[in-house]
Structure 1
Amino acid sequence: MRPDLRAYLLGDDGRRVFGPGPVDLLERVGELGSLRAAAIDMGMAYTKATRLVRDAELAFGFPLTERTVGGTGGGGSRLTAQALDLIERYRAFERTSRWALAAAYETCFSGFADVARLGCVVMASGEGTRFGGVAGEKLVAPLAGTPVLERTLAALPADLLDVVVVTRWDAVEDLCGRLGVRCVRATGPRKSDTMRAGLEALGRRAGCLFVTGDQPLLTEKSVRSMVAALTREPTAIVRLAWRGQPANPVLWPADMLDALARMDNDTGGRALLAGHAELADRVRLVEAADERELDDVDTREDLARLEDALTERGI
C-alpha cells in the first residue's frame, strides 16, 4: 500500500493550468525540438498539445515555446527561458510535495496495514549517581514492588509504538530480557549516544518518542494523546506538559530524526530546540492528567515520594 499524488497548479477560476501532463509535454519538446514530435511521442493529439501549451501561456502570462526555422527538419519548437524555469520550479514543487505526502501517510497510518509503527527510544543509559549504588541501579529498583523501568515501559502501547531500550547496564538488559523488550547498548555515555543508538536500531520511522526510563508514573493515556497529536499534525514536535510547562517525553516527527541522530552532546533534543528558534512554532503541548506523570527518579527520596503517591492512589 502506498499514497499517490498528482500536483496541479490551478487558475483563479479553479481550472487546472499546469500539471504532470503539460510538464512532460514541455520536457519532450526540449528533447525532441518539436511540439508535434513531443505530442506523437506521448500518444497525444497535436490539437490537445497546442491547447495545453496555450492555456498555460495564458495563465502564466509568458510564452513557453518559440518557433525555430530551417534545418533538416524544416523547423520546430524550442523552450523559452521562462519555460525552463517553470519546469525546474514545478519539479522541485512536485518532489517536495511527494516527500510531504509520504511523511504524512507514514505518520497518519503508522501501524496500519503494512506501515511501520512509530518508534520509541527509552533512555536508560544514565549512571544515576545521585541515586547511589551501582550504575543503573535506580532503573531496576522496586517502586511499589515493580521495577521503575518496568513501570515506564507499561505506559508505551505496543499497538502504536515499536520500543527499544538503550542502556549501558547489565541489570537493565537483564530486566528487558525477562520482559521480552528489545534492548541495545549505547556506544557512549552521552545522551546523544543513547539517542543515536536507538534511532539506528529502529531504522526509518515517521516519528520517534524519546522517553526517560525513570519516569514511572507516565500513563498510557498521555502517550496515546501524544501520538494522536502527531497524527493530526505530522510535522509537529509533541511534548507532554503540565499546566503549559513543557517536559518529557518528546515525540519528534520524521524530518527531525536525522538532526537528532547527528547531535553530539549530553543534553539531548533540548539542544536542538534551543539552537533553532523557528522550531518553537512547531511545538504542540499535550497536558498530562496528573503532575506526577512528569516526575523522574533522581534520588532515593524521589523514589520514596513516588511510592507515597502510588499508595495514596491505592495502587
Structure 2
Amino acid sequence: MRPDLRAYLLGDDGHRVFGPGPVDLLERVGELGSLRAAAIEMGMAYTKATRLVRDAERAFGFALTERTVGGSGGGGSQLTAEARELIERYRAFERTSRWALSASYETCFSGFADVPRLGCVVMASGEGARFGGAPGEKLVAPLAGVPVLERTLAALPADLLDVVVVTRWDAVEELCRRLGVRCVRAAGPLKSDTMRAGLEALGHRAGCLFVTGDQPLLSEKSVRSMVAALTHEPTAIVRLAWRGRAANPVLWPNDTLGALARLEGDTGGRVLLDGHAELEGRVRLVEAADERELADVDTPEDLARLECETKGTGSFVSFQK
C-alpha cells in the first residue's frame, strides 16, 4: 500500500491550468523540438496539446513555446526560457509535495496495514553515578516492587510503538530478556552513542519517541496523546510538559531523525532546538496528567520519595508484552 499524488496548479476560478500532463508535454517539446511530435508520442490529439499549452499561457501570462522555421522537418517548436523555469519549479514542487505526502502517510497510518509503527528508543545507558551501586543499577531497582525500567516500559503502548532499549549494562539486558523487549548495546558511553544505536536498530520510521529509562511514572495516556499530536501534525516535535514547562519524553518526526543520528558528544536532541527558530516553532506541548510523570530517578532519595508519593494509589501496572 502506498499513497499517490497528482500536483495541480489551479487558476483563480478553480480550474486546473497546469499539472502532470502539461509538464510532460512541455518536456517532450523540449526533447523533440515539436509540439505535434510531443503530442503523438503521448498519444494525445494535437488539438488537445495546443489547448493545454494555450490555457497555461493565458494563466501564467507568458508564452511557453515559440515557433522555429526551416530545417529538414520544415520547422517546429521550442520552449521559451520562461517555460524551462516553469518546468524546473513545478518538478521541485512535485518532489517536495510527494515527500511531504509520504511522510504524512507513514505518520498518520503508522502501525496500520503494512506501515511500520513509530519507533521508540529507551535511553538506558547512563551509569547512574549519583544513584550509587553498580552502573545502571537504578534502572533495575524496585519501585513498589517493580523495577524502575519495567514501569517506564509499561507506559509504551505496543500497538503504537516499536520499542528498543539501548544499554551498556548486563542487568538491563537481562531484564529486557525477561520481559521480551528488544535490547541493543550502545557502542559508547555518550548520549549520542545511545541515540544512534537506537535509530540504527529501528531503521526507517515516520517518527521516534526518545524516553529516558528512569521515568517510571510516565503514563500510557500521555504517550498516546503525544502520538495523537504527531498524527494530527506530522511535522511537529512533540514534548511532554507540565503547566507549559517542556520536558521528556520527546517525539521527533522523520525529517529530524537523520540529524539526531549524526549528533556527536554527550548531547541529546536539545542541541538541535537551541538557536534554530524553525525547529523551535514546530514544538508542540502535550500536558501530562500529573507532574510526577516528568520525574526521573537520579538518587536513592528520588526513588524513596516516589515510593512514598505513590504508595497506595494503585497507579502502577506491570509491563505487558
Counterpart in 2 of 1:302?
302
Counterpart in 2 of 1:264?
264
Counterpart in 2 of 1:211?
211
Counterpart in 1 of 2:37?
37
2:195 corresponds to 1:189: no
Q: Which runs of 5+ in 1 are unaligned?
A: none
Cα distance in structure 2, aligned partners of 1:13 and 1:127: 64
TM-score (norm 1): 0.99
Cα distance in structure 1, aligned partners of 2:6 and 2:314: 56
Cα distance, 1:249 vs structure 2: 0.1
Classify the secondary structure of the residue corresponding to 1:302.
helix
Classify the secondary structure of the residue corresponding to 2:234.
coil
Classify the secondary structure of the residue corresponding to 1:285.
strand
Cα distance, 1:314 vs structure 2: 4.0
Cα distance, 1:138 vs structure 2: 0.2
Matches within 5 A, 1:12-161: 12-161=12-161
Cα distance in structure 2, aligned partners of 1:3 and 1:146: 44
Counterpart in 2 of 1:5?
5
| Structure 1 range deviating more: 20-29 or 264-273 | 264-273
Counterpart in 1 of 2:238?
238
Cα distance in structure 2, aligned partners of 1:84 and 1:180: 57
Cα distance, 1:168 vs structure 2: 0.4
Cα distance in structure 2, aligned partners of 1:266 and 1:312: 38
Cα distance, 1:277 vs structure 2: 2.4
Q: Which amino acid aligns with 2:98?
A: R
The aligned length equals 315
Q: Which amino acid aligns with 2:264?
A: D
Counterpart in 1 of 2:163?
163
List structure 1 runs of 4+ shifted beyond 6 angstroms.
Answer: none
Cα RMSD after superposing both structures? 0.7
1:154-184 CA distance string (max 9 Å, x none): 0000000000000000000000000000000
1:220-259 CA distance string (max 9 Å, x none): 0000000000000000000000000000000000000000
Cα distance, 1:312 vs structure 2: 4.7
Q: Which amino acid aligns with 2:268?
A: G
Classify the secondary structure of the residue corresponding to 1:313.
coil
Cα distance, 1:144 vs structure 2: 0.4
Classify the secondary structure of the residue corresponding to 1:48.
helix
Cα distance in structure 1, aligned partners of 2:278 and 2:24: 37
| Structure 1 range deviating more: 43-52 or 264-273 | 264-273
Q: Which amino acid aligns with 2:155?
A: A
Cα distance in structure 1, aligned partners of 2:222 and 2:23: 47
Q: Which runs of 5+ in 2 are unaligned?
A: 316-321
Cα distance in structure 2, aligned partners of 1:182 and 1:2: 28
Q: Which amino acid aligns with 1:261?
A: A
Q: Which amino acid aligns with 1:255?
A: D
Q: Which amino acid aligns with 1:70?
A: G
Cα distance in structure 2, aligned partners of 1:71 and 1:258: 53
Cα distance, 1:278 vs structure 2: 2.0
